[in-house]
Amino acid sequence: MGITQLIVLLAVLVMLVLMVLEVAHPATIAFIILMFFFLFGYISPDEIMATISNEGVLTLALLFIVTSVIEKTGVMEKLLFIILKKSKSEKGVMARLTPPLIGFSAFFNNTPLVVMMTTSMQNWCKERNLHASKFLLPISYLTIFGGMFTIIGTSTNLIVHGWLLGKGLEGFSFFELTPFIILGVTIGVIYLVLFSSKILPETDTGMSDRYEHGRNFLYEAVVKDKCRLIGKTVTSNEFQLLKDLYLLKIIRGDQVISPIRLEDTIQKEDILIFSGSLDSLESLEKFKNLLIRTDEEVSMESLQSKDAKLVEAVVSHNSSIIHQKIKHSNFRVKYDASIISVHRKNENINKNIGEIRLKPGDVLLLLTGNDFELNAYHNDDFYALTEIKGDKILNKKESILAVTTFVGMILSVAFGFLSMFTAVLFCIALFMLFDLFDSAQIKKSIPFPVLLLIIASLGIGKVIETSGLADLIANTMIQLIAENFGTLGLLAGIYIITNILTEVITNTAAAVIVLPISLEVATYLDMSPVSVAVIVAVAASASFSTPIGYQTNLIVYGPGGYKFTDYLKLGLPLNLIFMATTIFSVYMFS
């Protein structure tokens, strides 16, 4: 081993240790290591630019925008809502959830899917006196299963595909991985249905825990005729769509219902008092005939109109409206704005909005008219005024256009008419033509730390390759394994190294580190590099044994009340199942 190879190896080991210890964000750690290599001349500016312009990276960034538009259609939520509504038993709900979860996660980002399902399952389980901990981890695993089927199912598949193209190789087809993982998925689903409820604990966290984060506002809404909430209880499936909103009380004429009992039903003209985050206001859009109440009733359409803006305002100590009840402040006439909700730091407000006496420092969420800026900026009533630009809401016609375009994109790639990158570009061009998203949504939909981690990992992978370290590790593996265990042993070695790395760092970083080594092994075995890359891609995604290996595993960690050992008990057999079936499939069919 030369001095260069030793330095690169030590730097990579330091990176892995720092990631495991969570000293900083993985993207930050990987970027620092990449800059270390750059300063010592192990990677050139041209090579760094090549990683930034990698087709897989660019495709992934564009896909984040595409899937954010599709999420706005509500297609996934509506279907899962119907499934949960008809399910009555533990095995019944698992059997019903498996096909749509695997199907959706094959084409969509599974992180928002698991976030949505976490809330839905907690509500469903509470209504039936079941434990959500029996379902949440299997839900995470099922979305991981689904993500392996297609080139766009996970970021790992796209990055491996882009890496292969960068080497002048063929790359993945749209369903390249499907023949190699179908056996593992089948056995894995059977295993989860039969054993997950027996292995997992009954220790999920309380339902109210998810409302205890972030800045909370107070909202009022009036239930109008034909609203879907009429006749429903707070534990019904309809309330599952009101994400991060907690119903504090119901005002029915002169009657105030609080605390709300599980059997209390919603009636026409009820005034509902909610507590929730700023982002939770968006979930009210799902309900027609549920109108936000200020000094007038406000529909979601008015919140998104061109003439009205959402503005966050902080009441100043010199404000003329402090210590007045909102209903007596003449707020609309004075400012050309309506108060939608109020947040007060370190204090829970449990009053009708009109009855609240404003205090300095109160944060008001306002629906403003054309004259608001002129009226508000010429006095000292507010310390800060910040316009809130929410994501574009899709109506029925726009949703149909979005879904049709997305399906067309998938079919054009699946049948080989277009490359993945070209198809995504066409899809986004049509979205822009149909005005289905705006600039604010683009910024929110792209997770820049994830992209930075991928770019830095690709650069580090390049250094591992050009320094000769990949050759050294591959030759060592060949000498130690090939003579005693043959081809299957080498393929298993590639899988195990990748899988261990993905359980302790991140899946994309693990894949990029092992890919140069796998190419050398493929050359030695006289196998197609794409076939060995399939093993790397599957091993990098098949993260089941720890909560930190995959983001969805971490999402359900708290709500499920899980321990680290719960992941080992349920996930380790899945790791072994996928390792055995994937290596067998690649060996037999490549």
pLDDT tens digit string along 206-239?
A: 433 433 344 556 677 888 888 888 888 877 777 7
Q: Which residue has the higher pLDDT, 502 or 191?
A: 191
Average pLDDT over residues 107-126: 72
Closest CA to 177 of 520, 585, 570: 585
pLDDT at 115: 66
pLDDT at 277: 64
Closest CA to 149 of 115, 122, 112, 189: 189
Q: Which residue has the higher pLDDT, 391 or 101?
A: 101
Average pLDDT over residues 163-186: 90
| Phi, psi angle pair for 19, to nearest 5° | -70, -40
Boundary (domain end) residue, out of 354, 388, 422: 388
Q: Which residue has the higher pLDDT, 392 or 208?
A: 392
CB-based burial label for 33 (10 Å; 0-12, 13-18, 19+): buried
Any domain includes 340: yes
Cβ atoms of 192 and 135 within 8 Å: the answer is: no
pLDDT at 441: 65
Note down the domain range covering 423: 68-150+186-205+413-445
Tens digits of residue pLDDT in 61-82: 888 788 778 777 767 667 766 7
pLDDT at 548: 65
Same domain for 78 and 196: yes
pLDDT, the chain, mean: 79
Q: What is the pTM of this model?
A: 0.62
Same domain for 368 and 441: no
Same domain for 420 and 352: no
pLDDT at 285: 63
Boundary (domain end) residue, out of 445, 468, 492: 445
Q: What is the dihedral of CA 180, 185, 188, 193, to 10 degrees?
A: -170
Q: Which residue has the higher pLDDT, 111 or 104?
A: 104
Average pLDDT over residues 28-42: 90
Tens digits of residue pLDDT in 292-328: 765 544 444 444 455 567 788 888 877 888 888 887 8
* Percent above pLDDT 70 for the chain: 81
For residue 369, is pLDDT > 60? yes
Any domain includes 500: no
Same domain for 369 and 309: yes
Instruction: Compute the distance between CA of residue 454 and CA of residue 141 in angstroms, rounded to an integer.
Output: 23
Same domain for 362 and 439: no
237 contacts: CB under 8 Å, gap ≥ 6:
81, 84, 85, 120, 123, 124
pLDDT at 537: 93
Same domain for 309 and 193: no
Instruction: Compute the distance between CA of residue 474 and CA of residue 284 in angstroms, rounded to an integer.
Output: 56
Q: Which residue has the higher pLDDT, 237 or 571?
A: 571
pLDDT at 212: 39
**Residue 274: which region, alpha, beta or left (left: phi > 0; alpha: psi -120 to 50)?**
beta
pLDDT at 301: 47
Closest CA to 419 of 409, 407, 433: 409
pLDDT at 209: 41
Instruction: Compute the distance between CA of residue 135 and CA of residue 95 in angstroms, rounded to an integer.
Output: 11
Same domain for 191 and 87: yes
The enclosing H or E element of 465 equals helix 448-466
Domain with 354 in it: what CATH number? 3.30.70.1450
Same domain for 366 and 316: yes
Any domain includes 164: no
* Percent above pLDDT 90 for the chain: 13
Extract the tokens encoding 347.
């204090």
Same domain for 119 and 193: yes
Any domain includes 181: no
pLDDT at 77: 66
Extract the tokens encoding 502.
């993905």
Residue 275 to residues 48, 242, 271, 341: CA-CA distances in angstroms?
Answer: 47, 11, 13, 9
Q: Which residue has the higher pLDDT, 550 or 352?
A: 550
Extract the tokens encoding 544.
């089941």
Tens digits of residue pLDDT in 354-364: 778 888 878 88
Any domain includes 157: no
Same domain for 75 and 143: yes
pLDDT at 383: 66
Any domain includes 343: yes
Boundary (domain end) residue, out of 339, 354, 388: 388
| Phi, psi angle pair for 293, to nearest 5° | -110, 120
**Distance in angstroms between the alpha carbons of the first and the last residue of the chain:** 33
Tens digits of residue pLDDT in 466-507: 888 877 877 787 778 877 788 888 899 899 988 888 876 677
Side-chain half-sphere of 447: how many Cα atoms within 13 Å? 15
Any domain includes 159: no
pLDDT at 345: 63
- Of 227-231, 274-278, 413-417, where does the model show the most confidence? 227-231
pLDDT at 300: 47
Same domain for 380 and 324: yes
pLDDT at 211: 34
Any domain includes 536: no
Same domain for 441 and 343: no
Number of domains in the chain: 2
For residue 338, is pLDDT > 50? yes
pLDDT at 244: 63
